[in-house]
């Protein structure tokens, strides 16, 4: 990747390069010029609840308007809400989200959606990056865009979500505990999981600019688990800061991560004969339990590299309609163009309502194998560890020992001088021992 874009847009500490007003303004100009190339006249900007969002929003909007493109401000809204609005409003050529997802409040980021509400390709990111970092002499000076507010952005997005689900005056309302992580979903979630359809209790739903993701949300589910047990709720739903991912909690207080949610939704879709091409896509980090579950269900399984953009690319290549990551990023392409935490929650609730089963019963679709992750520091040269005899032999020995009862994944970190070792196995002590064996080989060799 280039100097600015990481795996999910531009991200860093707010008000420190590259998350500065100067870069935001140039990013606005670059995205505005990209939209103009396709004949579009406006760009949607949304944000989460971080205190730095207003500052970056102003800079982005100024940059867009300076190249003669109009700006439509949504205010605080989940990332997938921006993706939707960028497809349903006339003349919109892109969407920009100001958010650092699950990161602490002092970080921020800029995510960009192109036409159709999909994340940019590598080539598009490179073009935008070149425009930001280079001297842009193509900025028109004869016309400026206007900046206006979409007054009902959350209502529009919420209606889009709810119209896809047959929730109508249930005999017994499901009791939900919802943790919005003091983030982008804090308003929209109250509209989607409303009192007419559900018996809902909201927690961590009072953002103050600094409490986003602060010991709450999808990364910290202890409070939602506690509330599920205390309130005797049917399910807990925890979103991250920009609400594009979901982690659930069953009625016993147990965490249900993305792999199990994928398995639950895939099984239900196949039973309803709506699992197009009988394919589910997940990443190399998915638990082997999901692999075995899909095999048992006779569902074809496509595995791709880490990142929801990689999942989407493989889904498009294989014409799959369900895919995701264990982290809680789920994509349902029949309903939306991108990962959406609230859409995933509605899908899960649909399965519960449709089957009459508890979440803990549904989660039995797969057995979660113990997973041990260890990191070993390495030098910056990043030698090919597969060609180092001691390491290769250790990996082979562990893979042979585990057989179909586990798996090994060794890869370099994309951002740090670390070699990451992940081992899954039938029991935690055995799995840890296997992981340590590979790590020791790495320490002895690199």
Query: Which residue of the set 52, 66, 101, 158 is catalytic?
Result: 101
For the record, the structure tokens of 270 come out as 């196949």
Bridge partners for 142 per DSSP: none
The answer to whether the CB of 242 falls within 8 A of the CB of 101 is yes
Backbone dihedral region for residue 182 (phi beyond 0: left; psi -120 to 50: alpha; all else: beta) = left
Three-state secondary-structure class, residue 397? helix
Bridge partners for 13 per DSSP: 107
Three-state secondary-structure class, residue 322? strand
Catalytic annotation present for 101: yes
Residue that the structure tokens 């007054």 belong to: 151
Three-state secondary-structure class, residue 340? coil
Bridge partners for 302 per DSSP: 281
HSE (side-chain half, CA atoms, 13 Å) at 49 = 26
What's the farthest any 2 CA atoms get from each other in the chain? 70
What beta strand segments (E) does 92-187 contain? 92-98, 107-113, 147-149, 175-179
Three-state secondary-structure class, residue 179? strand
The answer to whether the CB of 48 falls within 8 A of the CB of 56 is no
Query: Do strands 235-239 and 175-179 pair parallel, antiparallel, or not at all (unpaired)?
Result: parallel
Which residue numbers are catalytic? Answer: 101
């Amino acid at each position: 990747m280039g100097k600015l874009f990481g795996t999910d847009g531009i991200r860093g500490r707010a008000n420190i390069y590259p998350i500065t007003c100067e870069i935001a303004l140039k990013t606005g100009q670059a995205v505005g010029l990209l939209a103009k190339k396709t004949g579009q006249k406006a760009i949607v900007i949304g944000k989460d609840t971080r205190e730095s969002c207003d500052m970056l929003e102003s800079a982005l909007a100024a940059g867009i308007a300076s190249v003669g493109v109009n700006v439509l401000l949504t205010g605080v809204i989940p990332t997938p809400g921006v993706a939707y609005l960028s497809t349903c409003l006339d003349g919109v050529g892109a969407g920009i989200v100001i958010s650092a997802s699950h990161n602490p409040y002092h970080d921020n980021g800029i995510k960009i959606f192109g036409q159709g509400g999909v994340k940019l390709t590598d080539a598009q990111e490179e073009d935008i990056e070149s425009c930001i970092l280079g001297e842009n002499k193509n900025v028109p000076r004869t016309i400026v865009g206007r900046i206006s507010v979409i007054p009902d952005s959350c209502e529009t997005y919420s209606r889009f979500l709810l119209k896809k689900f047959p929730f109508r005056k249930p005999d017994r309302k499901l009791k939900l505990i919802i943790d919005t992580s003091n983030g982008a979903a804090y308003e929209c979630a109250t509209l989607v999981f409303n009192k007419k359809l559900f018996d809902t209790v909201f927690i961590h739903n009072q953002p103050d600019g600094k409490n986003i993701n602060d010991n709450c949300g999808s990364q910290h589910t202890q409070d939602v688990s506690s509330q599920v047990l205390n309130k005797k709720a049917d399910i807990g739903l925890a979103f991250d800061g920009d609400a594009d991912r979901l982690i659930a909690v069953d009625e016993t207080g147990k965490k249900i991560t993305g792999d199990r949610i994928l398995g639950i939704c895939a099984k239900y879709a196949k039973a309803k004969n709506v699992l197009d091409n009988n394919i589910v896509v997940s990443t190399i980090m998915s638990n082997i339990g999901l692999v075995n579950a899909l095999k048992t269900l006779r569902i074809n399984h496509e595995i791709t590299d880490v990142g929801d953009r990689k999942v989407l690319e493989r889904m498009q290549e294989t014409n799959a309609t369900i895919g995701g990551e264990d982290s809680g990023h789920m994509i349902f392409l029949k309903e939306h163009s991108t990962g959406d935490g609230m859409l995933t929650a509605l899908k899960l609730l649909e399965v519960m309502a449709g089957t009459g089963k508890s979440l803990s019963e549904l989660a039995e679709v797969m057995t979660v194998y113990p997973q041990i992750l260890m990191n070993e520091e390495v030098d910056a040269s990043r030698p090919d560890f597969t060609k180092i005899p001691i390491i290769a032999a250790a990996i082979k020995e562990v893979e042979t020992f585990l057989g179909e009862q586990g798996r090994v994944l060794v890869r370099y970190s994309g951002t740090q001088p670390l070699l990451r070792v992940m081992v899954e196995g039938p029991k935690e002590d055995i799995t840890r021992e296997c992981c340590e064996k590979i790590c020791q080989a790495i320490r002895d060799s690199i």
